[in-house]
Amino acid sequence: MRILFLTNLYPPLVLGGYEIACAQTAEALQKRGHDVRVLTTWSHLPAPSTSPGWVHRRLDLHWYVPHTSNVTYELRDLHSAVCSSYANTLQLLDALTDFRPDIVSVWNLTGIGSLAMMDLLNYLDVPWAIYLGDRIPVDVSANVPEDVRGLFNAQGSNIYKNARIQSVSHNLLDEIEALSGITFSQGVDIVAGWADLTSSVPHETYLRDGKARFVAASSISPNKGTDLILEASARLKDAGVDFLVDLFGEGDIPRYIDMVKSLHLQDTVHFRGQLPYADLLRSYAAYDAFLCPTWERDPFPFAPLGAAGCGTPPILTRNCGTSERLVDGVHCIKIERTVDDLAKAMSDVAAGHIDLAKMGRAGRRLVMSDLSFDRHLDRMESAFQDHMRPWNLQDDPKLPLLLFLKHNLSVRLRFG
């Protein structure tokens, strides 16, 4: 197959598991012999020397962070981010014309002109699938007025009707329907998160020397539970528990360093920066439990699966997307998203009340079977093959003009 991946971010610039999953999927399908191209944004970070030539960094990122107040963004930038960016739409048209993919695999479009890009795929009748790792339909419907959506044939669920829909969790689908009213009558493939355990190593002895070692890997932020981790750590320290916490990831590190100092946790909590995926997996073997007190709406944090697959049981929010796949007390420890619950779970681990070795073995078995990367790659590949069909791109010199007219009219309707 000829597969075009369309995504707002691509390594080395990532926010989390969504972008890493896109890269893993693209690279693995290329290794399976498919002809792959990635169309994504340019980055201020230097591309790795090993970056393949089929990754085309030609899009502009009109930055927009989902799930935050829009008052900090210029409305025109927001429009370019979630509705229409003419330059980006032309880049997609050029890629379709040059590459002629059998299918387009759409990932996170937030920030690159989501609506106009999906409209172009529909207009050209290109087979496409969208992998929902976040609430993209909500971002579009909440930030684009209804009359403007009509320009792009995006009333209700209309723009998604020809797409193969894939979602990381039922939790995410429920949120999309509740907040936007958008449903997918064609059905949805639940393609949960995965872990590629190729780089994992055997787990070390748990609670070595009577010390509990906790790890977290995510963006360093309130939504991912960094505040809760520090507050729970303060309680354990006050109780005389012998433990440490290592936090991997990027974020508002200076603010959290100040918080660590105010809680007198300098000898207990450490920020370790960001590690490549393979190195991070290897590091899990030295820890007793993985901390993931993420916000309840987190569609599917991938990191806890990687930890579970390496034998490091996750402590995670009871109703986040990943919890759909893990059984409490068997593969993980589920908690309410409170300092009290997190501190109790950490204390139970440190006190030896949890059979970490048994839980670690169960987690690894689950990830290596039902949640393995190869298994989910098979599902993605099969879905693409089922959805692809012949399509013909006519040489229409007027098409760029049509795209411009839609873009310009959307701006005029929105801003006068």
Q: What was the pLDDT predicted at 307?
A: 97
β-strand pairing of 212-217 with 243-248: parallel
Mean pLDDT of all residues in 78-100: 96
* Side-by-side strand order, sheet with 103-106: 55-59, 35-41, 2-6, 103-106, 128-132, 164-167, 188-190
Residues 6+ apart with CB under 8 A from 135: 66, 67, 172, 175, 176, 179, 180, 299
The answer to whether residues 159 and 114 touch, using CB atoms and an 8 Å cutoff, is no
pLDDT digits (tens, 9 = 90+) for 128-142: 999 999 999 999 999
pLDDT digits (tens, 9 = 90+) for 330-357: 999 999 999 999 999 999 999 999 999 9
CA 416, CA 407: separation in Å to the nearest integer? 13
Question: Is the model's pLDDT at 68 over the cut of 60?
Answer: no
Question: Is the model's pLDDT at 72 over the cut of 60?
Answer: no
CA 271, CA 253: separation in Å to the nearest integer? 8
Q: What was the pLDDT predicted at 34?
A: 98
Q: What was the pLDDT predicted at 395?
A: 83
For the chain, list the domains and their CATH numbers.
Answer: 2-194+374-415 (3.40.50.2000), 197-369 (3.40.50.2000)
CA 45, CA 53: separation in Å to the nearest integer? 17
The answer to whether residues 15 and 114 touch, using CB atoms and an 8 Å cutoff, is no
Mean pLDDT value across the chain: 93
Q: What was the pLDDT predicted at 264?
A: 97
Alpha-carbon dihedral angle through residues 292, 297, 303, 305, given to the nearest 10 degrees: 100
CA 2, CA 21: separation in Å to the nearest integer? 19
The answer to whether residues 45 and 80 touch, using CB atoms and an 8 Å cutoff, is no
How far is residue 253 CA from its own chain's centroid?
Answer: 21
Question: Is the model's pLDDT at 100 over the cut of 90?
Answer: yes
CA 298, CA 30: separation in Å to the nearest integer? 29
Q: What was the pLDDT predicted at 159?
A: 96
Q: What was the pLDDT predicted at 193?
A: 85
pLDDT digits (tens, 9 = 90+) for 272-301: 998 988 999 999 999 999 999 999 999 999
Question: Is the model's pLDDT at 69 over the cut of 90?
Answer: no
Beta strand ranges found along 243-369 (DSSP E): 243-248, 269-273, 289-292, 314-317, 333-335
The answer to whether residues 105 and 128 touch, using CB atoms and an 8 Å cutoff, is yes
What stretch of H or E contains 188?
A: strand 188-190
Q: What was the pLDDT predicted at 102?
A: 98
pLDDT digits (tens, 9 = 90+) for 115-165: 999 999 999 999 999 999 999 999 999 999 999 999 999 998 999 999 999
Q: Of 416 and 387, which is predicted with more confidence?
A: 387
Question: Is the model's pLDDT at 65 over the cut of 70?
Answer: no
Question: Is the model's pLDDT at 12 over the cut of 90?
Answer: no
- Portion of the chain with pLDDT greater than 90, in percent: 83
For residue 213, list its beta bridge partners. Answer: 244
* Torsional class of 273: left (φ above 0), alpha (ψ -120 to 50), beta (otherwise): left
Residues in the chain: 416
What stretch of H or E contains 381?
A: helix 373-387
Q: What was the pLDDT predicted at 66?
A: 52
Question: Is the model's pLDDT at 71 over the cut of 80?
Answer: no
Place 17 in a pLDDT band, splitting at 50, 70 and 90.
confident
In 3D space, the residue among 349, 108, 97, 109 whose CA is nearest the CA of residue 215 turns out to be: 349
Report residue 390: phi and psi, to 5°: -65, 140
Q: What was the pLDDT predicted at 11?
A: 87
